[in-house]
Structure 1
Amino acid sequence: MEIHGMSHTNQISSIDLLTMVNFQKTLNFMQSTLGDELKIKFRQAVEGFNYAEADSLYQWKSHNRYIIANSLSSKKWNVWCGLGYFEMNPESLTEYPYIGIIIEVSPGFKNRQKIIDFMQKIITSKPHIWMGYHLNSPSAWSHISYRKSLREFLSEEDHLSCIKDFFSNCIDEMRDIQSEFDFPWDVLKDESTKESSTISMSSPI
């Protein structure tokens, strides 16, 4: 299969043209699914720890995702939560982006282990909903996510409504785990980081 992003040429492919023609339509669709009503619900779900917001278009360009996101820690993106579209530039034409919600912690956050412990409890208790990534890698950005492939929504008659409903369910699920597993909100006020030259502190935002 054709692989995206493996090389640069001086030719425009039919896929490139489709992307150009549908760029604004695609952007409008994603903006509609993550509209004001969902943004308000998303912000309310993080209990007032809305210290900073991510630039959605920058996220698309730099991280192949279109999301609304908030830092959960007071000054830096040591712990953050994002909702939206992920892996929007898959390597294979047979792969699909996925949508959902993510909670991530940096490798240098002083209270990282408390966040990791919280994440471990969730994926142990709800493995059918939440997935964990790099939770046992101290030098990595580690996260949990609740997600579905966009492919799962293609058979629906109203894609817009179904995706919005799923995003709303993602926020509800995030609220549930906060209360059910006692999210350690208190540690997010400590912005100290561990001193280590081996830890990459580059922000994903």
Structure 2
Amino acid sequence: MSLFKDIHTLLRKGQPSMHEDLLTEIFAECFHDEELFISFLNNILDIPITNPHGINIETQKTFLRLDDHYTDSRPDLFIQFQDGDKKYVLLFENKVESQEGLAQLERYADHLRSYQVNGYYTFLIYMTRYDDLKDIKVIFTKGVSAKFIQLRWFKIYNWFLNHKDAYVNRVLEFMEEIGLSESRRFLPQDMYALQEMARLQHMMDECLDGVVDETMTKLFGRATGWSNRCVQLRDHYRYYKKNDQNGTWIGCGFHITEEDYPLICVQYEVSPTCLQRKEVIKAMNEFLDTNPDWDGYDLDNDSKWSGISCDKPLLDFLAEQDHIISIQKYFIDKLKELYILKQQNNGLGWK
């Protein structure tokens, strides 16, 4: 296992956004090599430069909230430099697992406008593991303030292959281990997985329906329809039964991770725009104080979906005689724990 992978494994126990932060730091370090920096700009971003100078590279740079913004903005990577008499500013947002923050790209576009009016060539770069096509009309609601570029991490991996050295080799190894190399070829095990897909989906549905559905309905109200599970899988890499409340939701199901086994999860999450967000976060923190099996994430970041979850690897259930009954019991027990939170906080707008 690589050094970066070791660090990544430790960070997985913390907030999901930490994964992107680690990758950003590793990625940004490469740009201190001028040859790599020029190659990336020329070949990946199609920015024709020859002699960059005055280079300033910052990660997690904070831009204070504008009057019509909900929160401050903190792009993953900020790069400013000159080439001849031309001035450039680039903002990067990197995604691997976490969700996009509230109007995140729109806010970055607004901040780039101040650079644009001062004569800078401005770029907004959005880097993702999977295809996540964005509508520039939604991003640039006040007029185009930058060139918008979408990149996939596998393209960055392929670019790194042409620039190997001791550091880049470690970066490549790390990207392979967390699944960012994306060979784009079907492997023998993929064929088997496709053949078994219907059976596995039926088993997951068995875990989520029946007594689990009855328990969720009794404690929190009816869950969303079956098709929402596929939406969750497509957008968030989780196959969940989900119950929407007022600005919050409760869910349970299977979370697909980078490890060998998925996680069995029960989760309670609050929107960044929830009118009672402060009260919900307070209730979550109090709940964590008395429920050590649960973990919180992004509870101090007002721009993100924040929440608490109780996760257990599917591997831990394999010794049981009936996996479905064991997983259902786990879901029911944890939903009942969340119900205590509900009873103790009746004023949080429960349906």
State TM-score, norm by structure 2.
0.46
Kindly indicate whether the alpha-carbon contact (under 8 Å) linking 1:45 and 1:174 is maintained by their aligned counterparts in 2.
no
Q: For 1:146 and 1:91, how far apart are their aligned partners in 2?
A: 18
1:72 Cα shift?
0.6
1:13 paired with 2:187, answer yes
What CA RMSD, in Å, does the superposition of the two structures yield over aligned residues?
Answer: 2.2
> Structure 1 57/122 Cα, relative in aligned 2: closer, same or farther at 3 Å?
same
Q: For 1:71 and 1:114, how far apart are their aligned partners in 2?
A: 18
Match of 1:138 in 2: 302
Kindly indicate whether the alpha-carbon contact (under 8 Å) linking 1:59 and 1:67 is maintained by their aligned counterparts in 2.
yes
Q: Which structure features the higher share of strand residues?
A: 2
Q: Secondary structure at the match of 1:83?
A: strand
Q: For 1:130 and 1:183, how far apart are their aligned partners in 2?
A: 21
Q: Deviations 1:151-173 (Å, cap 9, x if unpaired)?
A: 11112222111111111112221
1:55 Cα shift?
0.5
Q: Secondary structure at the match of 2:338?
A: helix
Kindly indicate whether the alpha-carbon contact (under 8 Å) linking 1:52 and 1:70 is maintained by their aligned counterparts in 2.
yes
Q: For 1:7 and 1:30, how far apart are their aligned partners in 2?
A: 28
2:326 equivalent among 152, 159, 162: 162
Q: Structure 1: 5+ residue runs without aligned partners? A: 190-205
Kindly indicate whether the alpha-carbon contact (under 8 Å) linking 1:71 and 1:79 is maintained by their aligned counterparts in 2.
yes
1:57 Cα shift?
1.2
1:71 equivalent among 241, 244, 252: 244
Q: Deviations 1:123-154 (Å, cap 9, x if unpaired)?
A: 11222x22111111111110001221111111
1:119 Cα shift?
0.2
Match of 2:249 in 1: 80
Match of 1:111 in 2: 276
1:91 paired with 2:261, answer no
Kindly indicate whether the alpha-carbon contact (under 8 Å) linking 1:118 and 1:183 is maintained by their aligned counterparts in 2.
no
Q: For 1:149 and 1:65, how far apart are their aligned partners in 2?
A: 13
Match of 2:266 in 1: 101
2:206 equivalent among 32, 39, 54: 32
> Structure 1 176/10 Cα, relative in aligned 2: closer, same or farther at 3 Å?
closer
One-letter amino acid of the counterpart of residue 66, structure 1: Y
> Structure 1 51/25 Cα, relative in aligned 2: closer, same or farther at 3 Å?
closer
State TM-score, norm by structure 1.
0.77
Q: Secondary structure at the match of 2:241?
A: strand
1:185 paired with 2:332, answer no
One-letter amino acid of the counterpart of residue 182, structure 1: N
1:96 Cα shift?
2.0
Moved more, 153-162 or 50-59: 50-59
Q: For 1:98 and 1:163, how far apart are their aligned partners in 2?
A: 11
1:5 Cα shift?
4.4
> Structure 1 3/13 Cα, relative in aligned 2: closer, same or farther at 3 Å?
farther
Q: For 1:158 and 1:146, how far apart are their aligned partners in 2?
A: 21
Q: For 1:139 and 1:185, how far apart are their aligned partners in 2?
A: 20
Match of 1:194 in 2: none
1:115 Cα shift?
0.4
Q: For 2:212 and 2:298, how far apart are their aligned partners in 1?
A: 29
Q: Deviations 1:91-126 (Å, cap 9, x if unpaired)?
A: 34xx32111211100112222100000001011122
Kindly indicate whether the alpha-carbon contact (under 8 Å) linking 1:83 and 1:101 is maintained by their aligned counterparts in 2.
yes
Which of the pair has more CA radius of gyration?
2
Structure with bigger RCO (C-alpha 8 Å, 6+ apart): 1
Match of 1:199 in 2: none
Q: How many residues align?
A: 176
> Structure 1 44/121 Cα, relative in aligned 2: closer, same or farther at 3 Å?
same
- Percent of counterpart pairs with the same letter? 27
